[in-house]
Structure formats: structure tokens, C-alpha cells
Structure 1
Amino acid sequence: MSSQEAETDGFEVVEVLTGPDEFEVVEVLTGRDDCRIVLNYHHLRFILNLLKPESPEDDDAVANLFLKLEEAEDDSDELRYDQCLEEVTDTAISACKGTMNSLAAAAPTSNSKQVSLEDFLYPTTFSLQLRTVNGKLQAVKMDDYSELTSMLEPPPLMVDSIPRSAPAATPSIEIEFMDDLFMGKVLKVSQHGQVRVFKSATHGNEDQLKREISVLQQVSEKWDPDHPDRPRVPQFLGLVKSRDQVIGMLESFIEGKNLYELSLADTSSTQRRIWKRQIEQAITRLHERGIVWGDVKPENVLIDKAADAWLVDFGGSSTDGWVDEELAETVEGDLQGLLRLKEFLGMRPADMYWQTFFCSARKLRVVACVGDSSVKVADYPPASKQALLMLEAWQARQKLQRFNDYEHIQPINPRLVCTCMSCVLAWNNLNVVLDLAHWQNHLDNRQPLPIIPRGNNNSSGGGTAATLTTTHEWNTQLLDAHASIVRRAAVEGSQLCYARILQAHLRTLSRTIVRNFRVAATAEEEDDDDNLLAFFRIVFFNSRTR
């Protein structure tokens, strides 16, 4: 049995895909002392309630069901609980089947072939409670079930802004329900004879639908439906309202299967390369217009009847194994997911691929290694270029230039500073200049420099020419100050900060030369060659890594 679990208001929500006969089990909500089974039957909704008895008798059938669930929950086999829950569900449905048939037969809409979206979302609902009578389960109709019903209906959606060009909201009564595509939240519907997809908000996830509406509206504003450069994403077709409130949206229907459903082993490498290129092109065009896809994964790539790849689901969020949580809904996250999609399609990661592009921070053309020859850095806007340089392949390759284990340079933050080779070298050099300038008084007075051994922030012990220290808060503050100045110069482009750093470096050079001749003056028999040698020795000593 396939199931999905989540936490909702203290209940464990389990989607169950199987049920006896024609009953369609929608979901099962289990708590410590109760279990509620929601199912559809002939376009009616039934809620089956199981309440754990406080003082059960020996032959209490309801208590025995809860006992089975508790034992299965403690079982080391994780599948045992799902299997037990399926058995409890089947038992409950079998006990209520006669009552549900009687209620369905008496309902005025139970035999209707065409059902409106309104009727599907707000069906006639019956609530039954299972009790033990003479050792057997028996269904009893309940009258008060409004609290649970409100949880099953789509919540009203507060849409911030709707463009004037957007179609007017369509009443749900005017839309025909066709099929349930995903858990009653994504539906196949018909509007004036045209097949559409309806997406409704869910309790606690309203922001995801609002994001999708916003993204698809942006796509519609930036590209006409028939524009040749329009990325393959669903078209926004308007909002849907019920009872004077917005409850969802309509988008174009794309008939096909997602990548996860396809048998890639039976798909030619040529076709998989075509899909890879189509996905790349769609993502690139979205990024060029400042739009982020969001939840990149195979399930959100549809392959239509013409074998073209479409991007769907712009609700955002992230999926473990595809986009890291901290990169959700970012350009960088899209690019990370894209690389993993390529691996999913069987595309071997390309060798390190070097490209040149214009780095706005350095004001010159630089070379970068982006790890994949199909990613064209020059085609991306500046923000996306920075994200490309954060790809794992590039970040791993430049570790030797990052000085992460050195205690006199703050490691570069790739989220704040461009990590092309030119910017990394500039970052290192400018920080070294400031660090060397800071210690000039110590060098003038021939005082030992406090040091923190490389990669060891908690060193202790005595030193010879230098002093080891167990506290390094002073060093953290010093590096933060230096990094702040370098960011203003290298990232924000402050010419004044650049000039101040160069001035400090010039003063360091002059003080180094003066120190050299002071040392030379103390030696009575030093010739010019010896002076020059002493000078280089001192410069090397002062500029080497502490």
C-alpha cells in the first residue's frame, strides 16, 4: 500500500489508495484516541469515526481495532502499521457499507453522471460513528460534523493583486468536474468544453498556491501564449470562486506523464538529451526575467503527447535530495536541481568546463569553471552568473584558493562575494594587505605576533618567536573588520575604500624598507648586497602566513 503521512492539527494524515469495491478512500486521520476515515461514494462524502472507549469490555470490537493499531505502531517493521491501518479501514467500511448504500440511494444527486466542481468540493456529507453492539461493529449516523467538514473544504484564498488583463473569476458551479489528479487538490475539469486543471488551496499551504498564481501571472505578462520564446509552463487561465470567495485557480491542462512515471531505460539517449535541453532553456528564460521555478524534481516535469518537456508546479518549497532546503525558491536552487535532473536523465556530468564572462565586480572579463559545458554563463544575467559560480563543482575546485583554514583571512562567503578566480584572488590579496598593515607596530618594535595555528582555533602552549593564544575572539573581530572593508571595495565598488587600502599598503612597504635599513645600520660590515638580501628576507618574513 502506498501512503503519505503528515501532521495536521494533532492528527496523523494518511492517504490510502485502496478500499473495497467502489468506495474511494480519500484520507485517514488518526490520533491517540480516535480514527477518522474520509471516503467518497457516488459523489457523496462519508466520514467514518472510531473513538477509543475509555473503559472497554472484553469483546469491544472498537477497542480491539485500536489495540491492533497500537501494537503495529510499536512493531519494528515500518510497513506493519500501514498494513494494519489498511485492515482497519477495510473493516470499518465493511461495517458501514449497508448504511452508506441506504444513504446514497436516498440522496438526490447520487445517480447524477455530471458533477460540477462545486458539488465535488462541497459534497453532501454524512458522518457515521462505529460502535460495538453485541460484540460487532455497527454504524450510527451523527448529526454534528461541521468541524471536520470545514477541514476538508478548500479555505478562502486572499490574492494580493490581480492584473486587469486576467480573466474574471469563474464560479465553481459553472465548471464541470472530470477527474481527481492528486488527493482532491489538483483536479481535471472542463470549462465551456475546454479541459483545464483546477488547483485549490489547502489549510496551512495557502502561500504555495498564491506563489504559483503570481508566477504564472508573470509568465503571462512577459510572453504571449503563442510567443516562440515562451517557456513551456502552464498558462494561467483565471481564478475560481465559490460563495463569493476565491478558492483556487485554473491553468492549462497538459496531457502526459511526468519524468518519474516514465521508463527512462526504454528511452533513447537522443530523446533524453532533447528533454535536458528543453528543461535548461525553460529555466534559463525564466531566470532571465527574474522568475524562479522553485521545487525542481522529476515529478514536476511533464512530457506531453508530442514528447516535449514542460515545467509544472510553481508553488515553491523544496524536496529533499533535489534542492537543499536553504536554497529553496532561489536561482541557485533551480540550478542545483537542474544538475540533479541531468543525472536522473542519465546524462554523465561533464568534465570541468571553463568559460569566460564579464564580472561586474571586477569590471573585466574573467574565466570560470562551471562544471557543465551545457551551462552557458554568458547567457545569464549577473545574479544568475553568481549562482552558477556556487555550483558544487566550482566551489570544490577552488578550495585551494579559498584559504578556509588560514587564520589571517576570513573565508570568502560565496553568497555575498563573487567567486570567480579574479574576485577570489582580489579578496585574498586585499585581506592580506590589511592584515599586514595591522601588525606593523609589532614588527617595528620587534614584538612577537600572536598566532593561531592553521586550522586549529583552540591551540594552547608556549611559543618561541611568537605567542600562541587560547582565545581568538580578538582575531574574529579583526577579520570581520578587514572583510567589511574589502567587501565595500571589491563588492560595492567603493573607490575610496580601494584608495585607502592601497594607501595602507604603501605605508607598509615604506615602513618595511625603513626597518630594513635600521637593521643594516646595526651591522658594521654589511655591504650593499647584504643590505638587499636582508631587505628581501624581512619582506618575505612579514608577508608569509602567520
Structure 2
Amino acid sequence: MEDSAGPIEVEIISMNAGDDESADVTFEYNSRRITLSLFASPDQTQENLEDRLIRLLNEAIVADDKEYDAITDQIYDIIMGLGRIPFSRIAPLSTSLPSKDLHSLLYPETFDYRLQTVDGVASIFPINPDEAVSVPNTGPNPEVVTEFQPIKTIPRYSSRDVHVQEVLVSGYGTVCKAHVGSQTMLCKAQNQGLENPSLERELVAMQKIWNACSGLGVSILVPHLQGYVTFADSRDIIGLLRDWVLPSSYGSTLRDMDIVAVPKELKKKWSDQIRETVDKLHELSVIWGDGKASNVVVDQENNIWLIDFAGGWTKGWVDEELADSMEGDNQAVRNITRFLGVEE
């Protein structure tokens, strides 16, 4: 979003809502991270501005795309109407590029503010982190209990040494194209590390594949695990690095392509490769999980690679009751084959 009154850049990052008592919204204002806390006013006889914002945030988190845009426009107008001056003091528009290392992306310096109505006048003012709605994100919990055991021979890279080139998915975690030294890789990381079960699940799966492919003559069409990402202030694992797959001339994933324009024999090859790869994974007791066309990438040699072992399911590809099972994977393969227009 941009403000028509002057040169500022604003982007909503996340919303924390779900009840009528409190909520917060986190956004970037001129590349600085700000979290605005909202607590319901004690006066129940009228809806103060903070109450209205809490209501709008609760509506936004369950809205469809069209409704979401309209609601967030209202949220933006309210916040900028009161906050533009105080926010600009700590975040003037800068011509310099913000830091692009992974650590700064996952754990940005955050400024806490609160919106409150006193004697009928609403204002936005700075608060201490311990006065905010949400607990500050200071990194992974070192006491977390997990069954995951890293492989000693796989390299570890500090989150400060992973340089982000392009953010593909963002939020409480990130998926990005990154440089580590002279290598280009794909990075998947979660700011809470192994407290996130999807990260642990993917690491376990990738390690099984890594172990299998360490044997002579074993090839599985899954991008290879190249390293662990660790929290910069400790050795706690918060993510993984794997091969970056250069896209084919048809597109990066099956979902990106004009499938009608792909030759029939090539689609048959891809269908066979997907089936063979899933069978090999099942022999290793690895479940693909969220099998779908957008999780099949195609390289410059027109070979497929299966990605995303974090679990889950997507409507239209895998039934919910079959999620994270071999039966679900087989259903995904059938649906992808049908998507390709290839007879089984």
C-alpha cells in the first residue's frame, strides 16, 4: 500500500486476532517493522476506535480475497490517519536498501505501539514489548523437545550468512531463493525453529532421502538437502537449504505452465517420473504429503522434481481424510496425471 499524501511505503505482514478482547497487526512502514497492539476499551456502551479495529481484524482473518482487500483498506486508513506522524519519526523513507540476510528477515527489529482512546480522543503511542498483546519473537526455544536428530556431516549455516535474493513465501517463516557463499539454493526457515512441526517433518523426510541418495546408483527426483540453517545466536536449527532447480522453458512448476502447449510424450514422461519417484519415497517410508501440480517443479532438462515435504493437503488434490498417508500420495499422483491429460 502507498499513502497518497506523501512518500511512504506500507505493507501488512500479519494479523493476530480471534477474540473481542485484544488483537494486533504487524506491518512494515518504510522498511521498519511495527506492531500495533489493541486492547478492548472498558466502556461497553460505545465502540471506540480500538474496538472497531479489533472487529475489523477478526473479520479480515476469515474473509475471502475480495472482502479481505476492502477490510484491510479500512484498517490501513484508520492506522495511517493516527499513526503517520509518530511512525515517520522512527521510520523515515530511506533511499538505502534494507539488510537482506535471512536473520534480519525472520527476526527484524520491531517497534511496539498501542492505539487507545482516552476521554474520547484516540491516539497511537509507543509501548514496551512486555506491554504488547503478543510475546516478542526472540528466536527458537532452546528447551523444545524434539525427536529430530541432525546428521553430523551435513553443513550448518548461520541465518546471518544466508543472503536472501527473492522471497517466495513470507509470514512467521519464509521460503526464499538465497545465496550461501557462491551457491544459489532454496531456503525454508521458521522463526520458531523446530517448535514448528512442519519444519521437523520436512527435515526428517529430507534426511531419509539424503541418506538413501548417498548410496551408489541411487537417484530420487527430489532436490538434495545441502545444509541446515541455524539461529545466528545459537546452534539451534531453524531451517534447511536445498538445491535450487533452474526452471524449464515451459515454466517452473506444472501449475505455472500452459499444459496444452506441452508435447504429449513429455507429459507422459513427467507422469511416469512422478509415479516412480513417489514409489521410491514410499519404499523409504517417506510421505510426500501435499502432493499437487504446484509442488512438482521441472528443470531445464525437462525432468520433474518433487518438492514440499512439510505435510498437509490441498482440496482438489488430496482428500482431507487421506492427508499425510501413502493413500493420499497415490490420490495426488492420479489427480496430477489427470491434470496432465495423460491416461493412467
TM-score over 0.5 (shorter chain):
yes
Does the alignment pair 1:217 with 2:212?
no
Q: Which has the higher helix share?
A: 1
Distance in 1 (alpha carbons) for counterparts of 2:140 and 2:185? 18
1:247 aligned to which of 238, 249, 252: 238
Offset at residue 282 of structure 1 (A): 1.8
Q: CA RMSD in A?
A: 3.6
Q: What's 1:197 paired with? A: 186
1:294 counterpart SS class:
coil
Answer yes or no: is 1:53 the counterpart of 2:48: no
Which residue in the other structure is 2:114 paired with?
129
Match of 2:327 in 1: 332
1:113, 1:19 → 2: CA distance?
Answer: 18
Deviation at 1:339, TM superposition (A): 0.6
SS at match of 2:290: coil
Q: 1:62 aligns with which of 27, 50, 59?
A: 50
Question: Structure 1 residues 288 and 187, CA, compared in 2 at 3 Å: closer, same or farther?
Answer: same
The letter for the 2-side match of 1:299 is: S
After TM superposition, list the pairs within 5 Å mapping 1:8-407 onto structure 2: 22-31=9-18, 32-55=20-43, 60-65=48-53, 82-95=68-81, 96-105=83-92, 111-132=96-117, 138-145=123-130, 148-150=134-136, 158=146, 160-167=148-155, 169-184=156-171, 185=173, 186-201=175-190, 206-224=196-214, 230-242=219-231, 243-244=233-234, 245-256=236-247, 257-348=252-343, 372=344
Matched-pair contact (CA < 8 Å) for 2:201–2:311: yes
Deviations 1:213-242 (A, max 9, x none): 1221122222249x7752221211222222
Q: Secondary structure at the match of 1:237?
A: strand
Q: Which secondary structure does the structure 2 equivalent of 1:321 belong to? A: coil
CA drift at 1:159: 5.8
Instruction: Quote the Cα distance in structure 2 between the aligned partners of 1:258 and 1:221.
Output: 26
Residue 324 to residue 136, structure 1, CA distance change in 2 (3 Å): same
Partner SS for 1:130: strand
- Mapped to 1, the partners of 2:266 and 2:37 lie a distance apart of 50
Match of residue 428 from structure 1: none
| Cα displacement (A) at 1:59 | 8.7
Shift of 1:47: 0.5
Code of the residue aligned with 1:54 in structure 2: it is P
Contact 1:61 1:136 in 2 (8 A): no
Specify the SS of the correspondent of 1:316.
coil
CA contact (8 A) 1:258 1:302 kept: yes
d(CA) in 2 for partners of 1:178 and 1:134? 48
Tell me the alpha carbon deviations over residues 128-150 of structure 1, each in whole angstroms, 9 at most, x when there is no partner: 11234797753211113477254
On the 8 A contact 1:56/1:63 being kept in 2, the answer is no
Per the TM alignment, residue 46 of structure 1 is displaced from its structure 2 partner at its CA by 0.8
Q: Which runs of 5+ in 2 are unaligned?
A: none
Mapped partners of 2:195, 2:10: distance in 1:
28
> Is the 2:212–2:218 Cα contact (8 Å) retained in structure 1?
no
SS at match of 2:91: helix
d(CA) in 1 for partners of 2:75, 2:139: 22
CA distance in 2, matches of 1:133, 1:311: 56
Once the two structures are superposed, residues 184-217 of structure 1 have per-residue CA deviations (whole angstroms, 9 ceiling, x without a partner) of: 4223322113222222236696222122112211
Compute the displacement of 1:307 (Å): 3.7
State the 1:312 CA deviation: 0.5
What amino acid sits opposite 2:42 in the alignment? E
1:64/1:165 Cα in 2 relative to 1: closer, same or farther (>3 Å)? closer
Aligned-partner Cα distance in 2 for 1:28–1:339 = 37
Q: Is contact 1:68–1:84 with CA below 8 Å preserved after alignment?
A: no
CA distance in 2, matches of 1:149, 1:255: 39
Q: Distance in 1 between matches of 2:2 and 2:106?
A: 21
Q: Rg: which structure is higher?
A: 1
Q: 1:144 is matched by which residue type in structure 2? A: P
Contact 2:35–2:113 (CA<8 Å) still a contact in 1? Answer: yes
Q: Percent identity?
A: 24
Query: 2:157 is matched by which residue type in structure 1?
Result: T
Name the SS of the counterpart of 1:180 in structure 2.
strand
1:257-292 C-alpha deviation (Å, 9 max, x unpaired): 333333334444344323212212322332344433
For 1:327 and 1:58, locate their aligned partners in 2 and report how far apart those are by CA, in whole Å: 48
Q: Name the CA distance, whole Å, in 2 between partners of 1:149 and 1:196.
A: 32
What is the SS of the residue equivalent to 1:148? Answer: coil
Structure 2: which amino acid aligns with 1:190? Answer: H
CA contact (8 A) 1:172 1:240 kept: yes
Amino acid corresponding to residue 182 of structure 1 in structure 2 = V
- CA–CA separation in structure 2 for the residues paired with 1:290 and 1:69: 42
| Native 8 Å contact 1:34 1:51 kept in 2 | yes
Secondary structure (helix, strand or coil) at the match of 2:318 reads: coil
Contact 1:117/1:176 (<8 A) preserved: yes
Residues 26 and 33 of structure 2 are in contact (CA less than 8 Å); yes or no, is this contact kept in structure 1? yes
Q: Could you tell me how far apart the structure 1 residues matched to 2:106 and 2:55 are?
A: 34
CA distance in 2, matches of 1:313, 1:128: 37
Corresponding residue SS for 1:231: coil
